[in-house]
Structure 1
Amino acid sequence: MEQVVQILAVIVVGPLLGVEFGVAAFTNPILQRLPEAAYWQARGAGGRILGTAMPFWYLGSAGLVAAAAVWNRGPLLIAAVVLMGLIVLLSVTVLVPINNRVAAAVGAPGAGGVAEDAEHFHELARRWDRLHWVRVGLLAAAFVLVVLAGAR
């Protein structure tokens, strides 16, 4: 059973890392090249869609890594659980609030309606992007730990 849980953790955490890396490395840089109104529409829609699905994916991933650590109490899996906890904490306390503000920017200046200036929203988006890279790095480390724990 411990191997099944570990394999499920790899199967769920690996694609999560891939999606988050894709957002950081490709999607958001491409969106930044769009005209202002299209940028805010795409960024807002992406923030709302991913903001709806990702909490379940993150909690499922953290749960599977924790379950793998319960079944096999190795130091690598315990470290992966700690990293997943940090990732969830970073997401909930910092990234989600920023994402909610950016997602609300569909009506941002140039797109038709938020009172705050465009530069404020751009700075929020840049801050989210920088912190998202931190999350991607932590997620990559957690994934590597889960894979290495399964290989031993």
Structure 2
Amino acid sequence: MLNALEVFTTVSVGVMVGVEFSVAFVINRILDALPGDSGQLGRAHGGRMLGAVMPVWYISSLILVAVWAVTGWHDHGTGLVVTAGALLMVSVIMSILLLVPINNRSKTWTPENRPADWKQQANRWERYHYVRVAVIVAAFALLVIAL
């Protein structure tokens, strides 16, 4: 049972990392290359779509890691799992404090109502997102090692 939990948790976090990595290094580059207002409209749509899914994914991943740590408390890799959980907690806190406020604004923007500094806000979100991606990649790596 513990082995199944470990694998399921690692795969769940790994897929989440893949989505966030793709947003940072693929999707946003594609959106930036689109003509006119298409990129900004795509970011707004992505903010609405992923903004609804990712909080559930982040929290459920954190819960899975916590269950793994408690269930396998006496296993050799528990320290790595606990550290991975701490990193996922950092990513959740970063999201709530830094990324979500920007996302909540930007997902409502259209070419007609966006603020003059919308590009600066989008760039700030990207910088925070790069840090968050690094944090969750580290958490994922620790889970893989703990297996």
Q: TM-score over 0.5 for the alignment?
A: yes
One-letter identity of the residue aligned with 1:102: S
User: Residues of 2 paired with 1:36 and 1:137: CA distance?
Assistant: 31
- Of 87, 106, 109, the residue aligned with 1:83 is 87
User: Residues of 2 paired with 1:101 and 1:124: CA distance?
Assistant: 9
Q: Does 1:25 align with 2:25?
A: yes
One-letter identity of the residue aligned with 2:124: R
| Residues 107-148 of structure 1: CA deviation (Å, up to 9, x unaligned) | 2xxx2234x21xx10001001111101111000000011111
Q: Does 1:121 align with 2:125?
A: no
Per-residue deviation, 1:100: 1.1
User: Residues of 2 paired with 1:67 and 1:78: CA distance?
Assistant: 10
Computed over aligned residues only, the root mean square deviation of the Cα atoms, in angstroms, reads 1.0
One-letter identity of the residue aligned with 2:80: L
TM, length-normalised to structure 2: 0.93
- Of 120, 124, 135, the residue aligned with 1:138 is 135
SS at match of 1:36: coil
User: Residues of 2 paired with 1:31 and 1:102: CA distance?
Assistant: 14
Spell out structure 1 runs of 4+ moving beyond 4 A.
none
Partner of 1:7: 7
Q: Does 1:148 align with 2:145?
A: yes
User: Residues of 2 paired with 1:134 and 1:146: CA distance?
Assistant: 19
Per-residue deviation, 1:35: 2.4
TM, length-normalised to structure 1: 0.90
